[in-house]
């Protein structure tokens, strides 16, 4: 049997092998020592955290816009909702709103740049997706979306209406008048007022003023400029109005201001001065209320015009004030019954003596002339009588100073 051969390294080859291993070990130790400082960026990272889960790499500060209201996946959202959002390290926001069927909703950013209002009430019981687009601080576009669903159509609604009709031409003192079919609780009036928009061309400073829980007026700081074009919109469809009620619909109206036609009556002279577009065009003798039934001093506007009517006060408790008289060219100034009208029975004393029951008496000829010149909303100021006009007795918006008028707004005025 042949002997087994055993291979052995010679001493010189073994020494070389040991030297090679020692060198490799030294290099490894040196590498580990170099990576053992306290800097997190220098620590060993195998792409996993302590639990063996993948770590996400930090891509820098968050950028873009997010919707803050309505909340993501919110339901029962009012159809009047506006979209509130916030930006983080981004600018130039734009909003896209689409229904579940893909229909795009038009709208516009609000003045504060923090919210976006649809152009009208949204459809009831409909899912919408809103996307906030913006430009990140790095100049790259960003986009974030969320969805919400509007409420079912409400059964308790409030009718909102405009006193003025479409394309009506009115006087320079005409307030814009919005009426509500139900009283608006005080806590809700600021929300309602924020949905009342007025666009005047040329632009003029103005404000809303609540005359009652069911009526709000708008007037400029001074009389409207002649020829002004006005578009006003009540975006109240689906808007919460308290006690579970919601606005029934949106309403929009366009009107125009006619020439500046202003009447001023001075009790001292017993004359009416008529100014048209800044020029005096007529001086008219008048007779005002006698001492027992004085005319009211203050600024009023023409509320309504009746070519023929009958003044009937037979229910007055004072027999001396009872009468039933046919009247021509009647123009109402107050709810209590102060008019401009033709009074042929007082023509002999007009310009000299007050004999009326509080109205502004003019001759038949001047009554006809005035009736043909005036429009609803033309202002008249009566001065120097024994009684002051009570605010609310007619459209007395101009009987208040601008400071007084501003106090009737549900939203503080910033000018």
Set 209, 217, 341, 357: catalytic member: 341
Domain coordinates of the chain in residue numbers? 64-150, 157-258, 261-395
94, 116, 140 from 136: Cα distances, Å: 13, 19, 5
pTM: 0.82
Domains 64-150 and 157-258 share a fold: yes
Second-level CATH architecture of 64-150: Sandwich (2.60)
Integer Cα distance of 186 and 245 in angstroms: 14
Second-level CATH architecture of 157-258: Sandwich (2.60)
359 flagged as catalytic? yes
Considering the four listed CATH numbers 3.50.50.60, 3.30.413.10, 1.10.730.10, 2.40.440.10, the one that applies to the domain covering 261-395 is: 2.40.440.10
For residue range 328-352, what is the model confidence (pLDDT) as tens digits?
999 999 999 999 999 999 999 999 9
Across the range 165-190, mean pLDDT stands at 98
Burial of 3 (0-12, 13-18, 19+ CB in 10 A): exposed
Set 209, 217, 357, 359: catalytic member: 359
For residue range 303-336, what is the model confidence (pLDDT) as tens digits?
999 999 998 877 878 887 787 899 999 999 999 9
Across the range 68-77, mean pLDDT stands at 98
For residue range 239-282, what is the model confidence (pLDDT) as tens digits?
999 999 999 999 999 999 999 999 999 999 999 999 999 999 99
Across the range 396-407, mean pLDDT stands at 98
């Amino acid at each position: 049997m042949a002997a087994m051969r055993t291979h052995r390294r010679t001493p010189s080859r073994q020494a070389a092998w040991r030297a090679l291993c020692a060198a490799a070990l030294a290099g490894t130790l040196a590498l580990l020592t170099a990576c053992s400082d306290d800097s997190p960026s220098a620590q060993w990272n195998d792409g996993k955290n302590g639990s063996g889960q993948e770590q996400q790499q930090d891509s820098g500060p968050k950028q873009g816009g997010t919707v803050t209201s309505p909340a993501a996946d919110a339901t029962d959202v009012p159809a009047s909702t506006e979209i509130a959002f916030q930006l983080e390290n981004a600018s130039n926001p734009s909003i896209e709103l689409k229904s579940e069927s893909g229909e795009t909703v038009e709208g516009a950013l609000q003045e504060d740049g923090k919210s976006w209002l649809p152009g009208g009430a949204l459809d009831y019981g409909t899912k919408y997706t809103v996307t906030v687009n913006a430009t990140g601080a790095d100049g790259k576009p960003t986009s974030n979306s969320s969805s919400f669903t509007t409420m079912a159509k409400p059964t308790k609604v409030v009718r909102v209406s405009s006193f003025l009709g479409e394309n009506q031409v009115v006087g320079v003192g005409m307030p814009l008048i919005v009426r509500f079919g139900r009283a608006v609780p005080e806590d809700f009036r600021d929300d309602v007022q924020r949905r009342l928009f007025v666009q005047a061309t040329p632009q003029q400073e103005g404000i809303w003023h609540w005359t009652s829980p069911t009526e709000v007026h708008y007037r400029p700081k001074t009389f409207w400029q002649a020829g002004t074009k006005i578009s006003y919109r009540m975006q109240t469809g689906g808007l919460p109005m308290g006690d579970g009620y919601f606005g029934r619909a949106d309403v929009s109206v366009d009107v125009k201001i006619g020439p500046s036609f202003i009447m001023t009556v001075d009790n001292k002279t017993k004359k009416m001065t008529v100014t048209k577009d800044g020029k005096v065009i007529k001086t008219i003798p008048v007779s005002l209320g006698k001492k027992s039934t004085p005319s009211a001093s203050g600024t009023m506007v023409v509320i309504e015009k009746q070519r023929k009517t009958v003044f009937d006060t037979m229910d007055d408790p004072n027999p001396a004030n009872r009468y039933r008289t046919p009247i021509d060219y009647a123009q109402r100034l107050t709810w209590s019954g102060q008019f401009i009208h033709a009074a042929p029975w007082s023509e002999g004393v007009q310009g000299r003596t007050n004999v009326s029951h509080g109205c502004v008496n003019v001759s038949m000829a001047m009554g006809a002339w005035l009736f043909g010149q005036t429009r609803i909303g033309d202002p008249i100021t009566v001065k120097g009588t024994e009684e002051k006009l009570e605010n609310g007795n007619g459209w007395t918006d101009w009987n208040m100073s601008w400071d007084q008028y501003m106090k009737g707004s549900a939203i503080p005025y910033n000018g």
